[in-house]
Structure 1
Amino acid sequence: MTDMDIDFPLVLVVLTFACGLGWLLDVLVFQKPRKQKISEMRTKLGIKATDTPSSEQQEVLDKLAREPYLIELGKSFFPVFFVVLVVRSFVAEPFQIPSGSMLPTLKVNDFILVNKFEYGLRLPVAGTKVVPYKDPARGDVMVFKFPNNPKINFIKRVVGLPGDRITYKDKQLFINDKLVEETLIQPPSLQNRMGSYTEQLGEVSHQIYKASSMARVNKTWTVPEGHYFVMGDNRDNSNDSRFWGFVPDELVVGKAFAVWMHWEGIFNLPSFSESRWIE
C-alpha cells in the first residue's frame, strides 16, 4: 500500500509552511508600504477620510491595495492546507488497498480510513510520538512504513507484541508456545485451493485464508522491545514479518478501522455498498 513515489506528508508540510510564511511576511513587511501608498493617493486625489471615492477613484485605490499574486494565492490556500495537514496527520488518513495480502478482510481497491491518534500523537513526516496513548494490540489491522523502504506504507495484522515468542510451523501459528485457535469455514478444493478459517487473536475474531500448498516458512522469532510482528490474513500470499522481520514502533502510522468505499478504477463507478468496520 503506497502513496506512490511522492512523500505526500512532506509536500503538505512544505506547502503549508510556505503559504503561512508568505502570509506572515505580507503582514510584517508588505502591508505597511501598501497602506502608505493608498494614503498618499487619497491625498493626491483629494479624498478625505469621510469622503466616498468615485468609481474611478476606487478602482485606482483597489489596484494599490491589491496583494501580490503569490501572496494572495498563498493566503487562499493556507487554511485548506493547514486543515488537511492537521486531519491527515493527527486524526484520520485515507489509503487504498493495492494487493490481496489482507484477503478476505480487505479486498484489492478497498479504500480505508486509518485512525492516526489510536497509537498516540505523532509529528508529521518525522513520525516522532509526542503524546502517548495506546500501544498496538494483538489482532489490530495496522498501517506502518515498510522497514526496508519507509517511503512505502504496508498494512498487516498485529500478531506478536514486544517480548512474544512467535512460531509458525506447518501453517499453524503459536504465540508463546500456545497454538492460536482457528476454526475451519471452507476447506480447500480442486476448484479453490484456498481454505478459509476463523482465527482468534486476543480479543479479535477474524477470517484468514490458507492455501493447500506446502508451507513457505517454518520458524520461531522473539519480538524485541519496541517492535511488532505482523502477518497478512492471506497467509500464503503475504510479504510480512515472516520474511523481512519486525516493525519498529517509530514506523507505525495508525490503526485501520473502516472501509468507506470500493472502486475498481476510472472506468467503474465507486461503490459504497461494501462500507464496513474492519475487524
Structure 2
Amino acid sequence: MQRLRKAGRYLVGTVQVLCGVHLFNEHVAEIRPCAGASMYPTLADSGTLVLHSRLALRLSPLARGNLVTAVSPLDPAHQVLKRVMGLPGDVVCVDPTGERRLADVEWCTVPPGHVWLAGDNQSNSTDSRDYGPVPMGLIRGKIVARVWPSPDWLNTTFHKVDRA
C-alpha cells in the first residue's frame, strides 16, 4: 500500500511538472528549431535554435525589424519566421529586389491590423510579396535570441537614421 501511495505522489508530481512546462512554453517562451533559407544570414538554414517568446509580444508592441513567428497565410498548418518590415499605415515597396516583377503593384499601404513580413534572404523567401499584408492575429510571438549555435540576443529593431 505504501508503494502505491508513493507511486501516486510521483505520478501527480510528474503531471504537475509537465503541465507547468506546457504552460510556460505556451504563454511565456520556448526554444524552437529553425529550418529554411529565408532568414539567412541572420539565421542559418538548419541547426539553429531560437528563443521564441509569446510574452514578449504581449509586453511590447511590434516594431519594424522585429523577428516574429506567424501562422502561414498560405498553409495554416505551418508557421513562418520573418522580419516585420511594415506596420499599419506604412507604405512599403512590394518587391525592393525587383526579382519578382509582380503585377501592377509597386507600393502597398499596410492596412490597419496588418503587418508586412519579409525574409532577410529575399531571393529565397516566401513572404508578404507573395501573400500580401499579414493580419496581426496570425502573429504568434517574437524571436528574442539565438540559442544555438553562437548564443546571442538578436538585435531586431531598426534605428532611425538622422538625415541632416
Q: 1:98 aligns with which of 31, 35, 43?
A: 35
* TM-score, length of structure 2 as denominator length: 0.80
Contact 2:95 2:129 in 1 (8 A): no
How large is the Cα RMSD of the aligned pairs?
A: 2.2
1:87 aligns with 2:24: yes
Contact 1:168 1:217 in 2 (8 A): no
Contact 1:165 1:220 in 2 (8 A): yes
1:276 aligns with 2:163: no
SS at match of 1:87: helix
* Structure 1 match to 2:51: 113
Q: Identity percentage over the alignment?
A: 31
Contact 1:156 1:232 in 2 (8 A): yes
- Structure of larger gyration radius: 1
* Structure 2 match to 1:155: 81
Which is bigger in relative contact order (C-alpha 8 A, separation at least 6)? 2
Which whole-Å deviations, capped at 9, do the CAs of 1:145-166 have from their partners, x for residues lacking one? 1123232111000001012121
In the TM superposition, 1:208-219 aligns within 5 A as: 215-218=99-102, 219=106
Deviation beyond 3 Å, 4+ runs, structure 1: 71-74
* Structure 2 match to 1:66: 4
Using the alignment, how far apart are the partners of 2:135 and 2:143 within structure 1? Answer: 18
* Structure 2 match to 1:231: 118
* Structure 2 match to 1:240: 127
CA-CA distance at 1:168 after TM superposition: 3.4
Amino acid at match of 1:151: A
Which whole-Å deviations, capped at 9, do the CAs of 1:84-131 have from their partners, x for residues lacking one? 1221122211111111100110112210001211121xxxxxxxxxxx
Amino acid at match of 1:227: H
Contact 1:167 1:220 in 2 (8 A): yes
Using the alignment, how far apart are the partners of 1:148 and 1:134 within structure 2? Answer: 27
Change (3 A) 1:251 1:170: closer
SS at match of 2:57: coil
* TM-score, length of structure 1 as denominator length: 0.49
Contact 1:217 1:242 in 2 (8 A): no
Change (3 A) 1:248 1:74: farther
Using the alignment, how far apart are the partners of 2:62 and 2:73 within structure 1? Answer: 17
Structure 2 stretches lacking a partner, 5+ long: 156-164
Structure 1 stretches lacking a partner, 5+ long: 1-61, 121-132, 172-213, 263-273
